[in-house]
Amino acid sequence: MKKKKRKNLKFNVSNYYAAIALFFVLGIVFFGTSKIFFAEERPINQTPLQTELDLRANGKLSIDRWIYDEHQNKMEVILATNNMKDYRTDLQFSSVSRKDVRTPLSIQAVYEDNEIFILHIDQVPKDFEQLAIRLHKNERNLNDWFQEQEEEEKQTPVISTLYTDERVVEKGEVNVKDHRDYTRQVADQMIDQSTIKIKENEEKMEQWEEVYRELNEEKEKLKAGLLYQTMDEQITTNNKIYQLDREMDVKQKEIEKIEADSQNIRAKIERLKQKKRDIGF
């Protein structure tokens, strides 16, 4: 009877360890092959909005807004550029989605004024994953301007690529408008952004002015103590006062620079408001 119990006990223990071993084997197989069945999380690829991008010799640009209309499979992108084109060059755009990199998307500039571009991208595929806009600078062949033939265009190199990601892109309605409505839309947006910039400048000025006051107070304290110092101490104190004067000059120039920037922005806002009045808004 005892032998039978020992056999059953050995059998149960063997089954227990066999079950544990099978569990580990299945776990290794599952997790080792999970990448086949579960796609790895892609890092989000989104060019920052309302952030100036310095393209060095090709100027500067920022994305004011990027909207995706899921119902119309359409996107609207508003770009603000600075010194990116002149009488010899044009900007061109192309677009492609990560879902189908071999098929270019239809993209056109529906509005262009004062280096502001509104781009529309059509037939954006569902679940596009990520989407890229390439900026090309096209240089005209000036040698052909006075000849009776069409201009030859050089190859258009990509000077920048902008990205959006379906996980973070703003969802909204995209409507086709006339030039008048686009002008108002851009003017309103630029006024809002300029107003925010003025507030930021005011905050910066308050900070610089506070630092300037602290430096000036320290300077006055040093000057007040000169009367009771020895010659050697006065030399040291005067050196400190000189350094404070230099720091105060730097801070004063920063304050004046910010104030001048704010004045330019206010003038810009007035021009934009006048532009709206000119078109009847």
Determine the 3-state secondary structure of 206 from DSSP: helix
Q: Which one is the CATH code of 53-176: 2.60.120, 2.60.40, 2.120.10, 3.30.70?
A: 2.60.40
Per residue in 127-148, pLDDT (tens digit) is: 999 999 999 988 766 555 445 4
The per-residue pLDDT for 236 is: 96
Please report, as a single letter, which amino acid is at residue 142.
L
Cα separation, 191 vs 236, in Å, equals 52
| Pairing mode of beta strands 53-54, 60-69 | antiparallel
Cβ–Cβ under 8 Å, residues 79 and 93: no
**φ/ψ (deg, to 5) at 83:** 60, 40
How far, in Å, are 98, 148, 172, 190, 271 from residue 186 at the CA level?
29, 39, 17, 6, 13
User: CB pairs under 8 A, 24+ apart, for 196-200?
Assistant: 197/265, 198/262, 198/265, 198/266
| Pairing mode of beta strands 170-171, 60-69 | parallel
- Could you write out the three-class secondary structure of 59-104? CEEEEEEEEEECCCCEEEEEEEEECCCCCCEEEEEEEEECCCCCCC
Which residue has better confidence, 140 or 49? 49
Measured at the CA of 47, the angle between CA 85 and CA 195, to 5 degrees, comes to 75
Sequence-distant (≥ 6) Cβ neighbours of residue 91 within 8 angstroms: 81, 84, 85, 117, 135, 136, 137, 138
237: pLDDT strictly greater than 60 = yes
Q: What is the mean pLDDT of the chain?
A: 84
The per-residue pLDDT for 20 is: 56
Total-model pTM: 0.68
Q: What confidence category does residue 113 fall into, taking pLDDT thresholds of 50, 70 and 90?
A: confident
| Residue recorded with tokens 């009488």 | 87
